[in-house]
Structure 1
Amino acid sequence: MTTAEQRIAELGLVLPKAPKAVTSGYVPWVQTGNTILISGQLPWKDAKTLIHEGSIGAGITVEQAAEACKQATLNSIAQIKDAVGDLERVRCIVRVEGTISYAPGHINETAKALDGASAVVKGIFGDRGLHTRMLYPVPEIVFKSPCIIVLQAEVD
Protein backbone atom coordinates (compact mmCIF):
# COMPACT_ATOMS: atom_id res chain seq x y z
CA MET A 1 0.00 0.00 0.00
CA THR A 2 1.34 3.43 -0.94
CA THR A 3 1.71 5.91 1.90
CA ALA A 4 0.64 9.56 1.78
CA GLU A 5 4.28 10.65 1.74
CA GLN A 6 5.02 8.29 -1.17
CA ARG A 7 2.03 9.75 -3.06
CA ILE A 8 3.39 13.25 -2.46
CA ALA A 9 6.64 12.22 -4.15
CA GLU A 10 4.80 10.37 -6.96
CA LEU A 11 2.76 13.50 -7.65
CA GLY A 12 5.96 15.55 -7.91
CA LEU A 13 4.99 17.61 -4.88
CA VAL A 14 7.10 18.70 -1.93
CA LEU A 15 5.71 18.83 1.58
CA PRO A 16 7.10 22.05 3.06
CA LYS A 17 8.06 22.69 6.64
CA ALA A 18 4.94 23.69 8.57
CA PRO A 19 4.69 27.50 8.44
CA LYS A 20 4.65 29.42 11.71
CA ALA A 21 1.71 31.61 12.69
CA VAL A 22 1.77 34.91 10.81
CA THR A 23 0.90 36.99 13.90
CA SER A 24 0.63 36.42 17.63
CA GLY A 25 -2.52 35.32 19.38
CA TYR A 26 -3.16 32.03 17.65
CA VAL A 27 -1.53 28.70 16.84
CA PRO A 28 -1.25 26.95 13.44
CA TRP A 29 -3.19 23.89 14.61
CA VAL A 30 -5.17 22.50 17.54
CA GLN A 31 -6.10 18.92 18.30
CA THR A 32 -9.33 18.23 20.12
CA GLY A 33 -10.06 14.54 20.56
CA ASN A 34 -9.37 12.86 17.23
CA THR A 35 -9.85 16.06 15.22
CA ILE A 36 -7.06 18.32 13.98
CA LEU A 37 -8.15 21.86 13.10
CA ILE A 38 -5.74 23.81 10.95
CA SER A 39 -5.59 27.62 10.98
CA GLY A 40 -5.95 29.27 7.60
CA GLN A 41 -2.89 28.67 5.45
CA LEU A 42 -1.58 31.00 2.77
CA PRO A 43 0.25 29.79 -0.35
CA TRP A 44 3.75 30.42 1.05
CA LYS A 45 6.48 28.73 -0.93
CA ASP A 46 9.20 29.42 1.63
CA ALA A 47 7.44 30.83 4.70
CA LYS A 48 7.84 34.40 3.46
CA THR A 49 7.01 34.54 -0.28
CA LEU A 50 3.61 33.81 -1.81
CA ILE A 51 3.70 31.78 -5.02
CA HIS A 52 1.18 34.21 -6.57
CA GLU A 53 -0.33 37.54 -5.54
CA GLY A 54 -3.60 39.06 -6.63
CA SER A 55 -7.17 38.06 -7.33
CA ILE A 56 -8.69 35.96 -10.09
CA GLY A 57 -9.17 38.41 -12.93
CA ALA A 58 -6.94 41.05 -11.32
CA GLY A 59 -3.32 39.97 -11.46
CA ILE A 60 -3.73 36.19 -11.71
CA THR A 61 -5.58 33.58 -13.74
CA VAL A 62 -7.86 30.89 -12.36
CA GLU A 63 -5.05 28.38 -13.07
CA GLN A 64 -2.63 30.40 -10.95
CA ALA A 65 -5.24 30.63 -8.19
CA ALA A 66 -5.59 26.82 -8.34
CA GLU A 67 -1.79 26.52 -7.98
CA ALA A 68 -1.96 28.82 -4.96
CA CYS A 69 -4.71 26.64 -3.46
CA LYS A 70 -2.52 23.57 -3.99
CA GLN A 71 0.41 25.22 -2.19
CA ALA A 72 -1.76 26.43 0.70
CA THR A 73 -3.16 22.89 0.97
CA LEU A 74 0.36 21.44 1.12
CA ASN A 75 1.08 23.92 3.92
CA SER A 76 -2.07 22.70 5.69
CA ILE A 77 -0.99 19.08 5.30
CA ALA A 78 2.42 20.04 6.70
CA GLN A 79 0.57 21.38 9.75
CA ILE A 80 -1.24 18.05 10.13
CA LYS A 81 2.09 16.22 9.97
CA ASP A 82 3.52 18.63 12.56
CA ALA A 83 0.54 17.86 14.80
CA VAL A 84 0.57 14.05 14.58
CA GLY A 85 4.04 13.17 13.27
CA ASP A 86 2.93 10.70 10.60
CA LEU A 87 0.40 11.28 7.82
CA GLU A 88 -0.63 7.63 8.03
CA ARG A 89 -2.43 8.56 11.25
CA VAL A 90 -4.93 10.54 9.15
CA ARG A 91 -8.19 8.58 8.99
CA CYS A 92 -9.84 11.14 6.73
CA ILE A 93 -9.82 14.74 5.66
CA VAL A 94 -13.19 15.88 6.95
CA ARG A 95 -13.39 19.36 5.41
CA VAL A 96 -11.64 21.70 3.02
CA GLU A 97 -12.51 25.38 3.27
CA GLY A 98 -11.21 27.92 0.80
CA THR A 99 -11.35 31.68 0.84
CA ILE A 100 -10.64 32.76 -2.73
CA SER A 101 -10.07 36.34 -3.91
CA TYR A 102 -11.73 37.42 -7.15
CA ALA A 103 -12.25 40.58 -9.20
CA PRO A 104 -15.74 41.63 -10.32
CA GLY A 105 -17.07 39.30 -13.00
CA HIS A 106 -14.93 36.34 -11.90
CA ILE A 107 -16.83 34.94 -8.89
CA ASN A 108 -17.83 31.77 -10.77
CA GLU A 109 -14.16 30.89 -11.30
CA THR A 110 -13.50 30.63 -7.56
CA ALA A 111 -14.83 27.06 -7.37
CA LYS A 112 -12.41 26.03 -10.13
CA ALA A 113 -9.54 27.47 -8.09
CA LEU A 114 -10.61 25.56 -4.98
CA ASP A 115 -10.61 22.38 -7.09
CA GLY A 116 -6.79 22.67 -6.81
CA ALA A 117 -7.03 22.08 -3.07
CA SER A 118 -9.45 19.17 -3.44
CA ALA A 119 -7.22 17.52 -6.05
CA VAL A 120 -4.18 17.66 -3.76
CA VAL A 121 -6.08 16.17 -0.81
CA LYS A 122 -7.56 13.37 -2.93
CA GLY A 123 -4.25 12.73 -4.68
CA ILE A 124 -2.31 12.40 -1.44
CA PHE A 125 -4.84 10.59 0.74
CA GLY A 126 -6.88 8.63 -1.81
CA ASP A 127 -10.28 7.67 -0.39
CA ARG A 128 -9.20 9.09 2.98
CA GLY A 129 -9.11 12.43 1.17
CA LEU A 130 -12.81 12.52 0.23
CA HIS A 131 -14.11 15.58 2.06
CA THR A 132 -16.83 18.12 2.53
CA ARG A 133 -16.02 21.58 1.25
CA MET A 134 -16.93 25.22 1.69
CA LEU A 135 -16.01 28.13 -0.57
CA TYR A 136 -15.85 31.76 0.58
CA PRO A 137 -15.39 34.13 -2.38
CA VAL A 138 -14.06 37.54 -1.28
CA PRO A 139 -12.77 40.65 -3.04
CA GLU A 140 -9.47 40.82 -1.15
CA ILE A 141 -7.24 38.78 1.20
CA VAL A 142 -4.35 39.88 3.44
CA PHE A 143 -0.88 40.17 1.87
CA LYS A 144 -2.53 40.16 -1.59
CA SER A 145 -2.89 36.38 -1.27
CA PRO A 146 -5.23 34.75 -3.78
CA CYS A 147 -6.42 32.22 -1.22
CA ILE A 148 -6.55 30.90 2.33
CA ILE A 149 -7.08 27.18 2.87
CA VAL A 150 -8.37 25.51 6.04
CA LEU A 151 -8.38 21.75 6.63
CA GLN A 152 -9.99 19.58 9.27
CA ALA A 153 -8.78 16.01 9.69
CA GLU A 154 -9.73 13.01 11.78
CA VAL A 155 -6.69 11.13 13.11
CA ASP A 156 -5.93 7.96 15.07
Structure 2
Amino acid sequence: MTSPSHPIYEKLKALNITLPDVAAPAAAYLPFMQTGNLVYLSGHLPKRDGKVITGQLGKNTSTEEGKAAARAVAIDLLGTLQAAAGGDLSRVKRIVKLMSLVNSTADFTDHHLVTNGASELLADVLGEAGKHARSAFGVAQIPLGACVEIELIAELA
Protein backbone atom coordinates (compact mmCIF):
# COMPACT_ATOMS: atom_id res chain seq x y z
CA MET A 1 0.00 0.00 0.00
CA THR A 2 1.19 3.51 -0.72
CA SER A 3 1.96 5.99 2.01
CA PRO A 4 -1.06 6.84 4.18
CA SER A 5 -0.19 10.49 3.52
CA HIS A 6 -1.10 10.12 -0.19
CA PRO A 7 -4.15 12.32 -0.96
CA ILE A 8 -6.34 9.30 -1.84
CA TYR A 9 -5.71 7.67 1.52
CA GLU A 10 -6.07 11.01 3.34
CA LYS A 11 -9.48 11.45 1.69
CA LEU A 12 -10.57 7.92 2.66
CA LYS A 13 -9.51 8.62 6.25
CA ALA A 14 -11.36 11.96 6.27
CA LEU A 15 -14.51 10.17 5.05
CA ASN A 16 -13.99 7.49 7.74
CA ILE A 17 -13.82 4.79 5.04
CA THR A 18 -11.88 1.58 5.55
CA LEU A 19 -11.53 -0.37 2.34
CA PRO A 20 -12.58 -4.02 2.56
CA ASP A 21 -10.55 -6.96 1.38
CA VAL A 22 -11.54 -8.48 -1.95
CA ALA A 23 -14.62 -10.63 -1.46
CA ALA A 24 -14.50 -14.23 -2.63
CA PRO A 25 -16.53 -14.67 -5.83
CA ALA A 26 -20.01 -16.13 -5.32
CA ALA A 27 -19.86 -18.08 -8.61
CA ALA A 28 -17.48 -19.05 -11.43
CA TYR A 29 -15.69 -15.75 -12.10
CA LEU A 30 -12.73 -13.67 -10.96
CA PRO A 31 -13.14 -10.45 -8.94
CA PHE A 32 -11.01 -8.59 -11.49
CA MET A 33 -9.08 -9.17 -14.70
CA GLN A 34 -6.29 -7.00 -16.09
CA THR A 35 -5.30 -6.70 -19.73
CA GLY A 36 -2.61 -4.15 -20.55
CA ASN A 37 -3.18 -1.11 -18.35
CA LEU A 38 -6.93 -1.71 -18.07
CA VAL A 39 -8.45 -3.56 -15.15
CA TYR A 40 -12.03 -4.84 -15.30
CA LEU A 41 -13.82 -5.31 -11.98
CA SER A 42 -16.67 -7.81 -11.83
CA GLY A 43 -20.06 -6.64 -10.66
CA HIS A 44 -20.25 -5.90 -6.94
CA LEU A 45 -23.39 -6.02 -4.79
CA PRO A 46 -24.14 -3.63 -1.91
CA LYS A 47 -23.61 -4.95 1.60
CA ARG A 48 -24.35 -3.77 5.10
CA ASP A 49 -22.84 -5.67 8.02
CA GLY A 50 -21.79 -8.43 5.61
CA LYS A 51 -25.31 -8.98 4.23
CA VAL A 52 -26.53 -8.06 0.76
CA ILE A 53 -28.79 -5.00 0.68
CA THR A 54 -31.91 -6.18 -1.11
CA GLY A 55 -34.92 -4.39 -2.55
CA GLN A 56 -36.54 -3.10 -5.68
CA LEU A 57 -36.47 0.59 -6.57
CA GLY A 58 -39.96 1.88 -7.23
CA LYS A 59 -41.48 -0.82 -5.03
CA ASN A 60 -39.92 -1.11 -1.57
CA THR A 61 -36.66 0.87 -1.84
CA SER A 62 -36.38 4.66 -2.19
CA THR A 63 -34.04 6.47 -4.53
CA GLU A 64 -32.05 7.72 -1.52
CA GLU A 65 -31.73 4.17 -0.15
CA GLY A 66 -30.58 3.00 -3.58
CA LYS A 67 -28.07 5.84 -3.77
CA ALA A 68 -26.66 4.87 -0.35
CA ALA A 69 -26.40 1.24 -1.54
CA ALA A 70 -24.55 2.37 -4.69
CA ARG A 71 -22.14 4.31 -2.48
CA ALA A 72 -21.53 1.14 -0.46
CA VAL A 73 -20.78 -0.70 -3.71
CA ALA A 74 -18.24 1.98 -4.68
CA ILE A 75 -16.39 1.41 -1.39
CA ASP A 76 -16.19 -2.32 -2.14
CA LEU A 77 -15.10 -1.57 -5.71
CA LEU A 78 -12.27 0.61 -4.36
CA GLY A 79 -11.16 -2.27 -2.14
CA THR A 80 -11.04 -4.60 -5.14
CA LEU A 81 -9.35 -1.93 -7.26
CA GLN A 82 -6.70 -1.48 -4.57
CA ALA A 83 -5.97 -5.23 -4.74
CA ALA A 84 -5.86 -5.10 -8.55
CA ALA A 85 -3.39 -2.21 -8.31
CA GLY A 86 -1.04 -4.23 -6.12
CA GLY A 87 -2.25 -2.57 -2.93
CA ASP A 88 -1.66 0.99 -4.18
CA LEU A 89 -4.61 3.16 -5.26
CA SER A 90 -2.19 5.88 -6.35
CA ARG A 91 -1.61 3.68 -9.42
CA VAL A 92 -5.16 4.44 -10.61
CA LYS A 93 -4.72 6.73 -13.59
CA ARG A 94 -8.46 7.02 -14.15
CA ILE A 95 -11.81 5.33 -13.73
CA VAL A 96 -12.80 4.76 -17.34
CA LYS A 97 -16.34 3.38 -17.13
CA LEU A 98 -18.96 2.42 -14.59
CA MET A 99 -21.96 0.22 -15.39
CA SER A 100 -24.81 0.14 -12.93
CA LEU A 101 -27.72 -2.29 -12.90
CA VAL A 102 -30.62 -1.14 -10.74
CA ASN A 103 -33.23 -3.66 -9.58
CA SER A 104 -36.37 -1.65 -10.38
CA THR A 105 -39.99 -1.67 -11.37
CA ALA A 106 -40.88 -0.99 -15.00
CA ASP A 107 -42.01 2.57 -14.19
CA PHE A 108 -38.95 3.60 -12.12
CA THR A 109 -36.87 6.14 -14.05
CA ASP A 110 -34.29 7.48 -11.59
CA HIS A 111 -31.55 4.90 -12.22
CA HIS A 112 -29.09 7.72 -12.87
CA LEU A 113 -29.78 9.22 -9.43
CA VAL A 114 -29.21 5.86 -7.73
CA THR A 115 -25.92 5.43 -9.60
CA ASN A 116 -24.79 8.91 -8.49
CA GLY A 117 -24.09 7.33 -5.09
CA ALA A 118 -21.15 5.46 -6.64
CA SER A 119 -20.09 8.15 -9.12
CA GLU A 120 -19.97 10.90 -6.50
CA LEU A 121 -17.91 8.81 -4.08
CA LEU A 122 -15.36 7.83 -6.74
CA ALA A 123 -14.91 11.46 -7.79
CA ASP A 124 -14.72 12.56 -4.17
CA VAL A 125 -11.99 10.03 -3.29
CA LEU A 126 -10.00 10.02 -6.55
CA GLY A 127 -10.59 13.59 -7.76
CA GLU A 128 -10.35 14.07 -11.53
CA ALA A 129 -9.20 10.45 -11.92
CA GLY A 130 -12.51 9.32 -10.43
CA LYS A 131 -14.68 11.02 -13.05
CA HIS A 132 -15.88 8.50 -15.62
CA ALA A 133 -18.22 7.52 -18.42
CA ARG A 134 -21.12 5.37 -17.26
CA SER A 135 -24.35 3.57 -18.00
CA ALA A 136 -27.26 2.97 -15.64
CA PHE A 137 -29.91 0.38 -16.46
CA GLY A 138 -33.09 -0.83 -14.84
CA VAL A 139 -33.37 -4.61 -14.62
CA ALA A 140 -36.07 -6.99 -13.41
CA GLN A 141 -33.82 -8.72 -10.85
CA ILE A 142 -30.23 -8.94 -9.63
CA PRO A 143 -28.52 -11.93 -7.97
CA LEU A 144 -29.54 -12.48 -4.34
CA GLY A 145 -32.25 -9.83 -4.71
CA ALA A 146 -29.72 -6.99 -4.43
CA CYS A 147 -31.03 -3.51 -5.17
CA VAL A 148 -28.03 -2.57 -7.34
CA GLU A 149 -24.98 -4.16 -8.96
CA ILE A 150 -22.08 -2.11 -10.30
CA GLU A 151 -19.01 -3.02 -12.35
CA LEU A 152 -16.04 -0.82 -13.18
CA ILE A 153 -13.22 -0.42 -15.69
CA ALA A 154 -10.09 1.48 -14.62
CA GLU A 155 -6.74 2.39 -16.15
CA LEU A 156 -3.65 1.80 -14.06
CA ALA A 157 -0.31 3.57 -14.36
TM-score by length of 2: 0.90
Task: Count residues with an aligned counterpart.
Answer: 152
1:87 partnered with 2:89: yes
Among 13, 16, 20, the alignment partner of 2:20 is 16
Q: Which residue of 1 aligns with 2:102?
A: 100
Query: Match for 2:35 among 26, 32, 37?
Result: 32
2-structure distance, mates of 1:123, 1:70:
11
What is the CA distance between 1:44 and its match in structure 2? 2.2
Distance 1:109 1:12 in 2: 28
RMSD of the alignment, in Å?
1.5
Q: How does 1:101-120 map to 2 (within 5 A)?
A: 101-106=103-108, 108-120=109-121
Equivalent residue, structure 2, for 1:56: 57
Shift of 1:2: 5.0
List gaps (5 residues or longer) in structure 2. none
Q: Distance in 2 between the 1:69 and 1:15 partners?
A: 15
Instruction: Report the AA paired with residue 45 of structure 1.
Output: R
Residue deviations 1:27-66 (CA, integer Å, cap 9, x gap): 00011111110000011235x402x311112221111101
Deviation at 1:17, TM superposition (A): 1.7
Mapped to 2, the partners of 1:64 and 1:97 lie a distance apart of 19
Task: Give 1:72 deviation, angstroms.
Answer: 1.0
1:41 maps to 2:44? yes
Percent identity over the alignment?
26
- Structure 1 residue 150 and structure 2 residue 151: aligned? yes
